[in-house]
Structure 1
Amino acid sequence: MQSPPFDVQKELEGWTLFWAELELSAGDDEPLAVLLRQVSRSARERFDLQSLSTHPTVAALRRLFRASGCDPTRYRPASEALLRRILKGEELPVIHPIVDINNCLSVELAVPCCVMSEGTFEPPFVFRAGRPGESYESLRGPFRLEGKPLLCDAAGPLDCPITGNERVKVTPGTQRALLVAYMPSEALGPALARDTLERLVQSAPTVRILQTAAS
C-alpha cells in the first residue's frame, strides 16, 4: 500500500497507521442504519465480554499502550470501550455518515479509529508518547496526554486512541475528513483495513473513499 501524501514520523514501535480520505456522498441513509445494526450484531457474535481483553488484537493493543507508559485497564483503547458498550447491549448510534463508517471500521477491526474534519489539522504528523503537561479538550472534557499514545500535527496534540480531540471533530457541515486507524502491526495489516473499509462503504454508499495509505 502506498505511503500517505504527507509526512508521518512514528516514534512508537509496533504500530501501523492506516489512513483514508473520506467524502460525504448523496445517498439513502437507510442502508447506513442497517449497516450499524449489522455491525453491532456481528460484534456480539464474534466477541465475548468476559474474554475480550484476551482477543489477539485487543491484547496486542494493550501491550502497545503499556509500552508507551499507559495503563490500558485505566485508559482503555477507544475501540475496546466501544466494543464493551456493544457487548452490554448498546447499539452503534447514528451521528454523521463519516463518523458512523469510522465507528463501524473500529468495531470490525477492534482498533481505535478517528476521523478529523477537513481543515482542522496541519501535517506533518508525529506519533509519539504524550509528554508531561500536554493535554487537550477531548470529546469528554479536559484530557491529560502524558504517557499516552498521541498523534500530533504542526499545531500540537491532535488525537489520542483513547478519546478524540474537540479541535478536529466532525460537525454537521463536514463534507470531507481524514480517517486514521491505530493498528498493532503484529495483529493486523493495512490491506485488511482497506478491504474492510471498502466493504463497509459498498454496503452504505453515503461516503466515498478518495484515497487510502499506510505508514
Structure 2
Amino acid sequence: MIEIKISDKLKEKCPKVAIGCIEANVDVYDGCDKLWKLIDNKCSTIKETITQSDILKIKNIEASRKAYKSLGKDPSRYRLSSESLVKRVVKDMGLYKVNNVVDINNLISLKSFCSVGTYDLDKVSGVICFNVGGKEERYDGIGRGSINIENLPVFEDEKGKFGSTTSDSVRAMITKDTKHILMNIISFNEDEELNDYIDYGIELLKKYSNATILDSKIIK
C-alpha cells in the first residue's frame, strides 16, 4: 500500500484517531440499481430509528465533533461529512447520485457514521500524511468552492492538502477516468469496528466496481 501516516500534531490533539484504508483498482461508472437499493434501505432504517436530536449523540459523530473542538474548529460551522449525510437522510432530502465509487463511499459512511474519503491515487504524489490544516490554508472543495481548512484534519501529499473530514478537494476527486483509489474510513474513536467497516467496503467495491483489492490496513 501507498505509505500513509498520522502526524504527531494530530495525534497529540486527537489521541484516538485511526484510519481504515483500502487501496484498490476499480471501474467507475454511473449509478447501479442494486447498489442504490442498498442505499435506499439504509436510508429508510436511519429515518425510522434516528431523529434530528439523536444525530449529535451517535458515538462516532460525537467523537469526531469532540476532535474538531480539540483542534479549535467549530463542528457546527464546519460540519463533518458523516454528520451532513445523516442530516440529509433524517430530513428526507435524499442523497446525491454521483458515481458507483462515491455512492459506495457514502454508504460506508452511513453504516459507520465515520467520515469516509475516497481519492484518485493517480492524482496523489508521495507519502500521504493525515495532518492539521495550517493557518489561513484553503483549497477548492468539491461543489463548495474555496474552503478554509485551517485546524481541520486533512490529508496531504507532496503537492499539498487534498482531503478532509468535512469536504474533499477537487484535485483528487473520483471521476469516470479514475482507476486506482484509496478509501479512508476515519475514526476518532480508536480502531473499534474499523475492521468490520473495511470488510464491508471491500465487499461493496468488489460487487459494484469490479474492484481488485491491492491492500487494506488500519493506521493509528
Q: Give the TM-score taking structure 1 as reference length.
A: 0.88
Shift of 1:73: 1.3
Distance 1:38 1:48 in 2: 17
Is 1:10 paired with 2:2? no
Candidates 61, 75, 79, aligned match of 2:82: 79
Match of 2:108 in 1: 105
Distance 1:26-1:97 versus aligned 2 partners, 3 A rule = closer
Find the residue that maps to 2:171 and give its secondary structure.
helix
Q: What is the correspondence of 1:9-88 to structure 2 with a 5 Å cutoff? A: 9-11=6-8, 12=10, 13-25=15-27, 29-88=32-91
Distance 2:212 2:112 in 1: 18
Shift of 1:156: 1.0
Candidates 207, 212, 215, aligned match of 2:216: 212
Match of 2:181 in 1: 177
Is 1:191 paired with 2:188? no
Instruction: Point out the structure with the larger helix share.
Output: 2
Distance 1:48-1:186 versus aligned 2 partners, 3 A rule = farther
Find the residue that maps to 2:79 and give its secondary structure.
coil
Report sequence identity in percent: 20
Distance 1:110-1:207 versus aligned 2 partners, 3 A rule = farther
Shift of 1:208: 2.0
Conserved 8 A contact 1:129-1:146: yes
| Unpaired runs of at least 5, structure 1 | none
Match of 1:125 in 2: 128
Find the residue that maps to 1:136 and give its secondary structure.
strand
Distance 1:128-1:153 versus aligned 2 partners, 3 A rule = same
Find the residue that maps to 1:180 and give its secondary structure.
strand
Is 1:138 paired with 2:141? yes
The one-letter code matched in structure 2 to 1:127 is F
TM-align CA RMSD: 2.2
Shift of 1:168: 0.7
Deviations 1:149-192 (A, max 9, x none): 11111111121110110101111222231111111234734212
Of residues 59-68 and 91-100 in structure 1, the stretch that sits farther from structure 2 once superposed is: 91-100
Q: Aligned pair count?
A: 211
Match of 2:158 in 1: 154
Conserved 8 A contact 1:83-1:107: yes
Shift of 1:207: 4.1
| Unpaired runs of at least 5, structure 2 | none
Q: Which runs of 4+ in 1 moved over 6 A?
A: none
Deviations 1:7-42 (A, max 9, x none): 413331321011112333599932112122122122
Candidates 80, 92, 97, aligned match of 2:95: 92
Distance 1:198 1:127 in 2: 22
Match of 1:163 in 2: 167
Shift of 1:144: 1.2
Distance 1:70-1:26 versus aligned 2 partners, 3 A rule = closer
